[in-house]
Amino acid sequence: MSKSYVELDGKKGVSRRQFLKTGAGVLMGTLAASSGILATLAPSSSWALTTKALSSEEANSILQVTRAIFPHDQLDDAVYALVVKDLDASAVEDPSVATLLRNGLMALNKSANGDWSSLDYLQRENLVIKMAGTDFFEKIRGTSVVSLYNNEMAWAHFGYEGSSYETGGYFDRGFQDLDWLPNPPANDSPAKA
């Protein structure tokens, strides 16, 4: 499980140059004003991710590809950055992954007749969809389906509450608070003891 900002290096007043000292690239962002619930998890509204195998431009493009494969319009880039983080780690461990990602981005640029990342998001998404089934697409899809949904920022966004043991479970915290359907009779669902 990713601990959101613990790993995403939330820092105030960071500069791209500071981050480039330690890695090949850097992804930076600011939580959108609409991401109120995420802001409560973050030490600051700006975040940064240093990458070791991917350049800044590549990391940014991979983030956009991830958005195109799993287009949650309201989900903040900071969550997608966790997928980039895992892909970058995978590329560090296995150079063939770095090559796979680079070649995939080159193919996207080719299909865009130029800079794929400069297209508008629907055009970007359409070109990514055309790559479905390729190793490039599958690598990003397979990583995303775990990384994108297995972190506390995603849980906050989608409303999932995560571990409940520390707070005593849901016995006194709404396990039967649904009020838009009739309550079953006691025979079928006995009162809690």
Partner 1 sequence: MSKIELNDDSVVVVIGSGAGGGTLANELCQKGIKVVLLEAGQRESAASFQNNEWGSFGQLSWLDKRTTSGSWRVARDFSGLPAWICKTVGGSTTHWAGASLRIQDHEFRARSHYGDLDGANLLDWPLTLKELEPYYDKAEDKLGVTRTNGIPGLPGNNNFKVMHAGAKKLGYKNCHTGRMAINSRIRDGRTSCRQLGFCFQGCKMDAKWSTMNSEIPKAEKTGVLDLRPGSQVLKIEHNKIGKANAVVYVDDTGVEHRQKARVVCVAGNSIETPRLLLNSESSQYPDGLANSSGQVGRNYMRHMTGSVYATFDEPVHMWRGTTMAGIITDESKHDPSRGFVGGYEMETLSLGLPFMAAFLDPGGWGRDFCRAMDNYRNMAGMWLVGEDMPQESNRITVHATEKDQYGMPVPNVHFDDHPNDIAMREHAYQQGRAVYEAAGANHVYPVPAYPSTHNLGTCRMSEKSSDGVCNKNGQTHDIKNLFISDGSQFTTGASENPTLTIVSLAIRQADYIAEQMVAKNI
> Which positions touch partner 1 (CB under 8 A)?
1, 69-72, 74, 129, 132, 141, 144-146, 148-150, 154-155, 158-165, 168-171, 173-178, 180-184, 187-193
Based on CB atoms, which residue is closest to partner 1, 17 or 179?
A: 179
Least CB distance to partner 1 at residue 11 (A)? 27
Nearer to partner 1, 18 or 123 (CB): 123
Q: Please, which residue, 120 or 177, has the CB nearer to partner 1?
A: 177
Looking at the DSSP bridge assignments, the partners of residue 47 are 29
CB of 64 to partner 1, least distance (A): 15
Report which residue type is found at 122. L
Give 51 or 144: the residue with its C-beta nearer to partner 1: 144
Helix and strand counts by DSSP (H, E) for the chain: 9, 2
Q: Least distance (Å) from partner 1 to the CB of residue 184?
A: 4
121-129 and 56-69 helices, crossing angle to 10°? 80
Supply the minimum distance, in Å, between the C-beta of residue 75 and partner 1. 9
What whole-number distance in Å separates Cα of residue 134 and Cα of residue 150? 24
Amino acid at 67: R
Nearer to partner 1, 92 or 149 (CB): 149
What is the rounded CA–CA span in Å between residue 107 and residue 61?
A: 12
CB of 177 to partner 1, least distance (A): 7
HEC-encoded secondary structure of 143-180:
HHHHHCCCEHHHHHHHCCCCCCHHHCCCCCCCCCCCCC
